[in-house]
Structure 1
Amino acid sequence: MALRPGDSGLRQLDLNLLPVFAALMRERSVTRAGQALFLSQPATSAALARLRAFFRDELFIRNGNALEPTPRAEALMAELEPALQSVAGAISGATPFDPATDTRTFRIGMSEDVGLAIIPLLPRLRAAAPHCRVVIRAANYLTIPGLLDAGEIGTAIGYFEDLPAAAKQRVLRRDGFRVLRDATSPGPIDLESYCARPHLLVTPRGDLTGFVDELLKQMGRRRQVVLGMPEFGLLPQTLLGSDLLCVVSEALVEALMATKYGAMLAADPPPFPCPDSVIRMAWRTALDHDPGEVWLRAQLIHWLTRRG
């Protein structure tokens, strides 16, 4: 006899946890399962804790460096694996997509600097999918996880690491940073002039310190941030005619150099080692096989991973 949702407990279970369970069964490791699903280790561990609480079973017991499934976990996997495969197949074939005729709405969350790089792509999307609508939400590493989890956006692009269990991600590009300045101001920038010049910091939270200040502190140096502003779009007009410096990602430099301000700006390598600037794309697991979302992600990936 088929169980009704109320009888089976489906109403109480977050179904997004099931891919995590399947990955744990395959990988027998929280770390490797998280990597397979593009989740951080803390997010995967939290999902496992929720699974244990729901099923009232340990599910996996550590045996040396591996996780051994309990009899309850083995029984669950035997029942769930065919169902998960059926659901994935149904999703992939349930919503055909023709960009020339489809009328759906795409919702994308992205940080503002990434948004500046995306702007030239928008007319191309419009030409390829003339009846579709695109809604872009301002989002950052603090808000992207919640927006994805709530289903308010289908795709996110920006700088982030921890994501909800119901999301997948991939790295789009790894870049360095550059020191942006008015092209008529002295340059290139060495460490002495960098520390002596005034600085601009894009700071949505309103603070006046960033990762550069931590790097300089480790070197026994410091800089003076004299101006904080909330938006990257204000950078060109603010830097022009001043001796201000601002550290930005190479992706943003490319976007700004393609504007009317490009010839008036200069970008120097930072005079100290910097970490990579990593732009990631994330999307809801439920949309992993949706043909329209797959098409949109392909357009975004092609645009953001190109060089030159």
Structure 2
Amino acid sequence: MTRAIDLTADPDDFTAANADPGQRASQGGALRVQDLDLNLLKTFHAVFDERHVGRAALRLGVTQPSVSHALGRLRLMFRDALFVRTGGGVEPTPRAQRLAASVERALDILQDVLDEGALFVPSSARRVFRLHMSDFAETAFLPTLLRELDHRAPGVVIETLHVEEGQFNDALESGRIDFALGHFPHASPHFHRSELLHERYMLLMPRRVADRLSLDAGFVLERNAPDALRFISITSHPQSMALLERHGLTSRIRAAVPDFMVVPAILQRCDYALILPRTVAQAFSAPGETASFEIADAATWSVNAYWHRRFDADPGHRWLRALLMELFRIGSREPFDSWLAVPPEASD
């Protein structure tokens, strides 16, 4: 049977003798989180806002006796009246005034957790996504991805990480990285993956070098590389070195560098050629200033997006995954016609 609670009663009258067993246990010492029912906090918040038990009941969609009963439980727990009756409703005690901000903050935090699990609003989202990218993937994908985020999700931050090969699977499983973009043959077969494009190597050099050596569009590296042609090797891509070895060109290497960062400076200031992934070569090409050539016997490989299946249902993860597929899953289309094209505003 539900007890009626007199809101005008002295809080000292709410002794352990009147409490139920669970409440009596809590009164032996400090209150514990497990002693609280979420509905009690919701009731407290509604009564504090409305300053009226009846209006609080309507707001919560429950009966007025239910609200009174919940207030009674709260008063026994906190050993304070919390609310006292006035001519127009109820007013909070000083203890209730102090509790109100914390209760509201706790309910807001819980609501944020529930909202995060149900929706992701790009335009207002504040979230950091961590992506493991090869140097190729950073060059090919990151500029376009950031440009799109500026328009669609200005509060979203991308952090790129370089994970050692031995830690790759653990990093993706643990969520230390949200996605990996690139070609990772050592990736666990349990990961989900989506192929973005097939890549292959090509030869890139300054136009002045091609003109000086009389190299035209029909130039074939594996047949007639001029003796004066010199190369820079990218050590992070051993396939590039393998192609030079296959065609007996390793003696022509002038320098070996670990990644692509120095490529633009080399093309601008030095008279060397480089074997690069086709998409990267296109990204570094400048009309009239560079010349590129196909390598007929260069192998192709797939560039993928990888993620762990346990993040499939995460709304933010789903959103970024869809964006990556929209921007970069180009199938048979030329990547340069898709995401490496000059944006319209840049040509104004």
TM-score w.r.t. length of structure 2: 0.53
Residue matched to 1:156: 180
Query: Aligned equivalents of 2:229 and 2:170: distance in 1?
Result: 38
> How is 1:90-101 mapped onto 2 (pairs within 5 angstroms)?
94-101=117-124
Check whether the contact 1:159–1:280 (CA below 8 A) recurs between aligned residues. Answer: yes
2:210 matched to 1:182? no
Q: Residues 140 and 245 from structure 1, CA distance in 2 versus in 1: closer, same or farther, beyond 3 angstroms?
A: farther
Residue matched to 1:169: 193
Q: Residues 146 and 184 from structure 1, CA distance in 2 versus in 1: closer, same or farther, beyond 3 angstroms?
A: farther
SS of 1:99 mapped into structure 2: coil
Letter in 1 for 2:301: S
After superposition, what is the alpha-carbon deviation per residue over 1:82-113, rounded to whole angstroms, capped at 9, x for unaligned? Answer: xxxxxxxxxxx934211122222211111122
Residue matched to 2:233: 201
> How is 1:89-238 mapped onto 2 (pairs within 5 angstroms)?
94-117=117-140, 118-139=142-163, 144-164=168-188, 167-186=191-210, 187-188=215-216, 189-190=219-220, 191=222, 192-193=224-225, 197-204=229-236, 210-215=238-243, 221-223=248-250, 224-238=252-266
Q: Residues 148 and 298 from structure 1, CA distance in 2 versus in 1: closer, same or farther, beyond 3 angstroms?
A: same
Query: Aligned equivalents of 1:103 and 1:264: distance in 2?
Result: 41
SS of 1:148 mapped into structure 2: helix
SS of 1:102 mapped into structure 2: coil
Runs of 4 or more above 6 Å deviation: none
SS of 1:185 mapped into structure 2: helix
By relative contact order (CA 8 Å, sep 6+), the higher-ranking structure is 1
Q: Residues 119 and 194 from structure 1, CA distance in 2 versus in 1: closer, same or farther, beyond 3 angstroms?
A: farther
2:276 matched to 1:253? no
Q: 1:244 aligns with which of 272, 293, 300?
A: 272
SS of 1:233 mapped into structure 2: coil
Q: Residues 132 and 183 from structure 1, CA distance in 2 versus in 1: closer, same or farther, beyond 3 angstroms?
A: same
Residue matched to 1:265: 290
Query: Aligned equivalents of 1:273 and 1:165: distance in 2?
Result: 29
More off after superposition, 142-151 vs 173-182: 142-151
More off after superposition, 296-305 vs 106-115: 296-305
SS of 1:303 mapped into structure 2: helix
Deviation at 1:196, TM superposition (A): 5.8
Q: 2:322 aligns with which of 289, 298, 302?
A: 298
Q: 1:280 aligns with which of 297, 304, 309?
A: 304
TM-score w.r.t. length of structure 1: 0.59
Query: Aligned equivalents of 2:283 and 2:186: distance in 1?
Result: 27
Structure 1 alignment gaps of length 5 or more: 1-92
Query: Aligned equivalents of 1:304 and 1:244: distance in 2?
Result: 30
Q: Alignment identity in percent?
A: 20
Check whether the contact 1:111–1:139 (CA below 8 A) recurs between aligned residues. Answer: no
Q: Residues 213 and 229 from structure 1, CA distance in 2 versus in 1: closer, same or farther, beyond 3 angstroms?
A: closer
CA RMSD of aligned residues (A): 2.8
Q: Residues 142 and 110 from structure 1, CA distance in 2 versus in 1: closer, same or farther, beyond 3 angstroms?
A: farther
Letter in 1 for 2:289: M
Q: Residues 164 and 115 from structure 1, CA distance in 2 versus in 1: closer, same or farther, beyond 3 angstroms?
A: same
After superposition, what is the alpha-carbon deviation per residue over 1:209-261, rounded to whole angstroms, capped at 9, x for unaligned? Answer: 93244456556x3433221112212102113343311111121123223xxx4
